[in-house]
């Protein structure tokens, strides 16, 4: 395993969930399997010591690196002081206002976000970048996406949930919202030994490419997400019982029975199935 150099007096701050990727082969694989070009703007989340940053700067037009650790910010500023392709921001990514970035000359297809992020904030970061609140309230067509793709390292178990198929134990509400909003795929699996310090679990790099239209023509976003909540908070129950738990009336459930077998478990439905179910429930006919 080829490793990046260790840093003098390296301090690892547990409160930031720091695990630094030190395997050069994995760093190279992330770059090789990410569709990035010299026309792209990349927001790097948690650049650490700048190992991935160096590779990004060789490939893209501009990098904005957002780092919460002030000591690392100073190290990065010194390391890249002669490179005008990078801006380094000292900030918590969850508090950072994405709307403040100057995207002049960068259409959305050329805006990507990449990061090796702390496991404990994986889901909040994904929800921030896909615009969860707007998606739930308004749907894809009325959600203003800022980036075209999010490529992030995360705990393997969470990544497997994101790309999970219907009917599997990993398939859940996180799978549905990510697959509703994005085209998801695995880029590379990463052994825990590729980090310093080594975490207790393995990792995975996942690509989430934002969709710009609703592929399933969901008529009422509120009903759709109400169903998703009902199904995945009552796993292993029949579809009929899940709909009751979600608060739907008997006449609405009876409409569904004309198109669906209500004895199946709700978690066996795919996105198209949930969309069809939602449209039946929300229809006035």
pLDDT digits (tens, 9 = 90+) for 183-222: 999 999 999 998 877 888 899 999 999 999 999 999 999 9
Per DSSP, the three-state class of 89 is strand
What pLDDT sits at residue 98? 95
If pLDDT is split at 50, 70 and 90, which confidence band does 168 have? very high
Identify the pLDDT of residue 284.
Answer: 65
> What is the average per-residue pLDDT within 92-108?
94
Q: What is the pLDDT of residue 54?
A: 96
Q: Residue 17: pLDDT band by 50, 70, 90 thresholds?
A: low
What pLDDT, on a 0 to 100 scale, did the predictor assign at position 136? 93
When pLDDT is averaged across residues 83-97 and rounded to a whole number, the result is 96
Angle at 120 between CA 12 and CA 175, to 5 degrees: 145
Residue 3: what pLDDT?
47
pTM of the predicted model as reported, rounded to 2 decimal places:
0.90
Enumerate long-range contacts of 55-64, CB under 8 Å, 24 or more apart: 55/27, 55/28, 55/30, 55/31, 56/31, 56/114, 57/83, 57/85, 57/86, 59/31, 60/36, 60/85, 60/112, 61/85, 61/106, 61/110, 62/86, 62/87, 62/106, 63/87, 64/88, 64/89, 64/101
pLDDT value at residue 4: 46
The per-residue pLDDT for 8 is 42
Average pLDDT over residues 238-254: 94
pLDDT of 125 > 70? The answer is: yes
Task: Give the pLDDT score at 15.
Answer: 55
Mean pLDDT of 90-94: 95
pLDDT, the chain, mean: 91
**Domains and their CATH numbers in the chain:** 14-210 (3.40.50.150), 221-282 (1.10.8.100)
pLDDT of residue 116: 86
Q: Is the pLDDT of residue 141 over 90?
A: no
Query: Averaged over 13-26, what is the pLDDT?
Result: 72
Please give the average per-residue pLDDT across 67-71, as a whole number.
Answer: 92
């Amino acid at each position: 395993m080829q490793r990046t150099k260790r840093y003098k007096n390296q301090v690892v701050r547990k409160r930031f969930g720091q695990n630094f990727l030190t395997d050069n082969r994995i760093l190279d694989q992330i770059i090789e399997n990410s569709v990035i070009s010299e026309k792209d703007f990349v927001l790097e989340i948690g650049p650490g010591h700048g190992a991935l940053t160096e590779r990004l700067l060789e490939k893209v037009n501009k990098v904005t690196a957002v780092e919460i650790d002030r000591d690392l910010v100073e190290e990065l500023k010194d390391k890249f002081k002669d490179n005008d392709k990078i801006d380094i921001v000292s900030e918590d990514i969850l508090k950072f206002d994405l709307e403040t970035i100057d995207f002049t000359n960068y259409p959305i297809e050329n805006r990507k976000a990449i990061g090796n992020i702390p496991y404990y904030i994986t889901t909040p970061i994904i929800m921030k970048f896909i615009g969860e609140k707007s998606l739930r309230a308004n749907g894809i067509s009325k959600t203003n996406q800022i980036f075209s793709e999010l490529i992030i390292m995360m705990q393997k178990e969470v990544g497997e949930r994101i790309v999970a198929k219907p009917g599997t134990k990993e398939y859940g509400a996180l799978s549905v919202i990510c697959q509703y909003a994005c085209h998801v795929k695995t880029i590379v699996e990463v052994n825990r030994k590729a980090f310093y310090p080594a975490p207790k679990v393995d990792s995975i790099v996942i690509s989430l490419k934002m969709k710009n239209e609703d592929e399933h023509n969901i008529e009422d976003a509120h009903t759709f997400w109400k169903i998703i909540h009902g199904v995945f908070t009552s796993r292993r129950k029949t579809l009929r019982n899940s709909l009751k738990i979600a608060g739907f009336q008997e006449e609405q459930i009876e409409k569904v029975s004309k198109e669906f077998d209500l004895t199946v478990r709700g978690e066996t439905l795919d996105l198209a199935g949930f969309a069809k179910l939602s449209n039946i429930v929300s229809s006035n006919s």
